[in-house]
Amino acid sequence: MVWGKGLARRLYGLTGVVWSKYLDIDERGRLIVKLKGYKIDIAKLVSDKQLPGAHIRILPIIRYMMDQVYEAFMEAFRKFGYKGAFKPVYPLKSNSTPIVVDTIWRYGIKYSWGFNAGTYPEVKLISKYINEKPRLLVVDGIKDNKLLDLLSKMCDSWEIIVDIESMRDADLLSKYQDLNIGLRVKVTSKSSGLWSHSSGLDSKFGLLINTLDEMVEKHPWVPNRTVLLHVHAGSQITDKNRLEDIIRETIILYNNLVKTGFKNIRYIDFGGGLAYPYIEASNHVFSANYSLNEYAEILVKELVKSAENTPDIVFEGGRYIVAPHRITVTKIIDTRPYSTSDRGETSYPIVEEIKNTENIKELVYVSRKAREVITRLMLKFPINIESRRILEKLLTSINEAITSKAYEIIHRDNDKALEELIKTPNYVLEELVSPTRRFFASFSLFSHLPDTIIADQYFKIIPLQRLNEKPEVLGVISDLTCDSMGEYSSFITFLPNNIEYETEDLFTSLDHKLMFIPGKTLRLKGVPLHIPRKNEDYYIAFLDTGAYQDMLSMNHNLLNGYPEIIIDIINDNLKIIYENLESAENYPL
């Protein structure tokens, strides 16, 4: 059998740009963080303090991501001979946790990394840096006099640009002559991905051109004070063609504005559309079909090609900077089967028909018949304990027979069977990727991973131990809340055609569920995991939870807060700090 650390890395997504650098599997099959020669056992960090789980913040990852962004744009500038400046700003909405903001502030000194804020509390948060080295601050959102008064105090040392998005904004800013302004304008182009609805002419953000015309007529000072063109491209734009459309349209807007009196525009902010690769399968909604370097090249190339002048580029990709720095770890405290096995005690004609199929095509046909049998029986039978026993045993027998027969056929016919299996949606494939266990974890999705509830956001999951052992079952992760939405079941695999594997490696070892098909993107309905042994502390980790999750955290069932473990390298020395340990008492061990 080929199964080992190499296949585990592939299955759990440790082969991308970030995680191949910072995470690895040691010789014991445990997940470790790699930093400057240090190897940190993640499970040990948590179990040594007897914690139910923790948010682990790896601060060097934030710095690394900032470096990657800056270097990508500098390379594009050199390649296309661009003479403008690069002005990165960090949008505080992505994560305004003080240690995150301070890390970006301090490391950003070398790049003059500024900030983007949308509320009074966000501006107040960074006002503590007012006497430090000046930065660029772009402010959008709804304004009032309190916010503008604070910005006026800051503009002596910082470069402040306040976006105008409505006539009300212009009315307010007419009284604050010391503040430069930006125009946040809607684009007609639609983006792609989960947040595509947030772009276009019906977007929540930005001005319509007709509104801008009326504004200039009422406030003739607007063109002279405008130094920035800002658009909301959308978040996590996954399609390169859509991205190019938005960039081209924005440059056309810039050229037209400059020609019609907005002579002082010197910055273009294309918004925060750069997609962070939550998975590395380029044909999926959670990942882009372009890289960071391609993003920078597309943007710079189009400016060189089409822009009338040479505006400075304001970059505000916050999610890309902070998403990977936080790993959410939680302990499994209970496992429960989806059903009780019939153990072959009863013989059913439809089950025997499943067992007698010869290939995947026949199995698909008979499986459909079996589902129809179940549907008819559920409509016909009275709802009592005896009928429930019969239905539950029959359903379990059918599902187990489908899985067992598919497992047998794929072992015999391999590629031919797999090709037939994925031709069209069918009950066989559905059953092969369905879970058989629930894993109850000591955390709250509402508190710790709220985007799974709000936006169906995908996060990679990986066990912290036994990674040198093949996963045993597919399982759904259930949280502690009393809400049926408190479950996470998505697991996406994409392993290349050229990987070394044996047919047995395709399946979990106990319930024989399908984990991957080489060369295909496969979305499982459960996570490949091991059943915890007696007295074993079995932990799992959700990766890439550093953007928005801290800010959106809910208080459902009063499960709020989680222990924090902060990992940093200071002067080449490893530093690990535990915080908020008192919150552990809210969660069972």
3-class state of residue 362 by DSSP: helix
Catalytic residue from among 131, 482, 484, 572? 482
Amino acid present at 282 = S
The structure tokens 């052992």 sit at 469
State the DSSP H helix or E strand holding residue 564, giving kind and residue range, or none if neither. strand 564-570
Nearest to 11 by CA among 471, 336, 569, 484: 471
Q: Backbone phi, then psi, for 362, in 5-degree steps?
A: -65, -40
For the chain, report the end-to-end CA distance as a whole number of angstroms.
35
What number of other Cβ atoms are within 10 A of residue 445's Cβ?
25
Q: HEC states along 177-243? A: CCCEEEEEECCCCCCCCCCHHHCCCCCCCCECHHHHHHHHHHCCCHHHHEEEEECCCCCCCCCHHHH
What number of other Cβ atoms are within 10 A of residue 525's Cβ?
16
Nearest to 227 by CA among 187, 257, 188: 257
Q: Backbone phi, then psi, for 302, in 5-degree steps?
A: -65, -35
- Please state whether beta strands 226-230 and 180-184 pair in parallel, antiparallel, or not at all (unpaired): parallel
Dihedral angle over CA of 278, 283, 285, 291, nearest 10: 50
Nearest to 296 by CA among 84, 13, 112: 84
For residue 283, count CB atoms less than 10 angstroms from its CB and return exposed for 0-12, middle for 13-18, buried for 19 or more.
exposed
Q: How many whole angstroms separate alpha carbon 467 and alpha carbon 540?
A: 11
State the DSSP H helix or E strand holding residue 294, giving kind and residue range, or none if neither. helix 292-306
Helices (H) and strands (E) in the chain, counts: 21, 23
What number of other Cβ atoms are within 10 A of residue 331's Cβ?
25
Q: How many whole angstroms separate alpha carbon 565 and alpha carbon 122?
A: 24
Q: How many whole angstroms separate alpha carbon 96 and alpha carbon 423?
A: 46
**Tokens matching residue 139:** 């402010």
Q: How many whole angstroms separate alpha carbon 405 and alpha carbon 424?
A: 19
Q: How many whole angstroms separate alpha carbon 142 and alpha carbon 165?
A: 8
Q: How many whole angstroms separate alpha carbon 327 and alpha carbon 239?
A: 27
Q: How many whole angstroms separate alpha carbon 196 and alpha carbon 193?
A: 5
For residue 371, what are the contacts with CB-CB under 8 A and spacing of at least 6? 398, 427
Judge whether 288 and 191 are in contact, CB under 8 Å. no
Please say whether the dihedral angle defined by the alpha carbons of residues 35, 39, 43 and 48, taken in this order, is positive or negative.
negative
Q: How many whole angstroms separate alpha carbon 308 and alpha carbon 323?
A: 35
Q: Is 482 a catalytic residue?
A: yes
Q: How many whole angstroms separate alpha carbon 293 and alpha carbon 162?
A: 29
> Which residues are catalytic, by number?
482
